Amino acid sequence: MTAHTITVAGVAVDTRHWIGGERVASTETFTNASPIDSSVLGEISRGTATEAAAAVAAARDAFPAWAATARAERARILSAIADGVEKRIEELAIVETMDNGALLRSHRRGVMPRVAHNFRFFADWLLKLDHEDFETRGHTNHVSWDPAGPCVLITPWNAPLMLATWKVAPALAAGDTVVLKPAEWSPLTASLLADIAAEAGLPAGVLNVVQGYGSEIGDALTSHPDVRRISFTGSVPTARRIAASAAENLTPLSLELGGKSPLLVFADADLDLAVDLAVEQYDNAGQVCLAATRLLVEESIAEEFTRRFAEKATALVQGDPRDETTDIGPNIHPRQLEKIDGFVQRALAAGARAIMGGHPNQGQYYAPTLLTYVAQDSEIVQEEVFGPVLTLQTFTSEEEAVRLANDTRFGLAATVATGDRERAERVTAGLVAGTVWVNCFFVRDLQAPFGGSRQSGVGREGGTWSFDFYCDLKNTVTAPNGWNNHG
């Protein structure tokens, strides 16, 4: 152990940055506390423009050699990182639970295995990435994906490691180098990822991790002239600042932003399935960008749906996320809890009714909440709450359902519950969303494009779309003759 190492649930975590293959401390720190019980986990190095510049320089210097590394070797190292994650799933799971409050059982069984899969998938996809040559008047067109350069990846706190590696893995596979800036509310597993990557043989400077507040380090990263790509997951206001910062250098952006997604429940749906889908929206204490927080239910079944929903949702167990029986853990930070309650109290003051919840519980826990009698143009319907708060509205026709579903500035996702295949096709065709689920929720394949419409984002990542973003696409056109040698 060193002065810069903390122990979280028995796991040693280095609190310094990872820059150029070395641990680097800052003169200032910030306090990292667990949302479970507000206990202090440790003091984390607080980066500034100095660390940002050093990390970008390390990524810039490491780029030529990494970009020139054969695809097979890059894929081998990414697979070795996946192996390292799998060996440490239990450690990663408990550290992330302590750091962001999500369920330990989910981290063990789903999230951390997905982290490993992110690396393995993009390693495999790299090896088959190809575009068939085509001819133009006898000339051959050959499309290639060239590494772009250093990337800045800024990731959120609600699923820290999974969402970080969703960006890190394709960027590294593409031959880019990375500066990862994790959210200051949940930075610990990013530090462990740096250790795992180094142990897997990733060369120094190819992956760098800098910690700190966006207001202090973010602009220095996103405005740096040596940065070739920026990928960000987070809020719309922060995205605007990043886009303005990147504009000076015309740095390409991929932005996965907020959502106010609908769940449309038609009278012909399997009602038990529809209720299950609705209750599932409380996952991760409602801190899921894709969550269908607006329940739109056909009027003829609304009363029965509401009764069954309340019965099932009130049976959810809220408590310590380390307990196997817990269904809903805490919200990430006191400021987030205050924000959630502010939305709810303003809605109640404006005439909304709480079918259930509507108040904080002890500590950083907010009671699962369902609000009715909400106006379409109200704040609670239009703005992202990012907590365990759902609204319920009714509709009487398919056209009204689609109109209500589309009537926000967002367009990240939508969920449809119906027993009519033709209706499903009509409704999904009319919905403005990057992802639509029909009679299911949160089924995600890394081959599929992912991103949002409207103010839910810019661009798509996943499968070849990730390589399209993290690479410079080149088309080489070759004449059919003119060679001096004819071998």
Q: Do 370 and 376 contact (CB within 8 A), yes or no?
A: no
Among residues 289, 298, 461, 471, which one is catalytic?
289
Rounded to the nearest 10 degrees, the angle between the axes of helix 71-87 and helix 188-199 is: 130
**Alpha-carbon torsion 182, 184, 188, 194, what sign?**
positive
SS3 21: coil
Answer yes or no: 256 catalytic: yes
**HSE (side-chain half, CA atoms, 13 Å) at 222:** 26
Handedness of CA 221, 223, 229, 233 (dihedral sign): positive
- Using a CB cutoff of 8 Å and minimum separation of 24, what contacts does 311-317 make? 312/275, 312/276, 312/279, 313/279, 313/282, 313/356, 313/368, 313/370, 314/356, 314/368, 316/279, 316/282, 316/368
How many C-beta atoms lie closer than 10 Å to residue 420's C-beta? 14
Give 12's strand partners: 7
User: Per-residue DSSP letters for 121-147?
Assistant: HHHHHHHH-----EEETTEEEEEEEEE
Which residue reads 């054969």 in tokens? 70
139-147 and 229-233: which strand pairing?
A: unpaired
Q: CA 469, CA 460: separation in Å to the nearest integer?
A: 8
Of 91, 96, 184, 256, the catalytic one is 256
SS3 49: helix
Closest CA to 462 of 177, 222, 169: 169
**Angle of helix 421-430 versus helix 398-406 axis, rounded to 10:** 30
Q: Is 151 a catalytic residue?
A: no
Catalytically active residues are: 256, 289
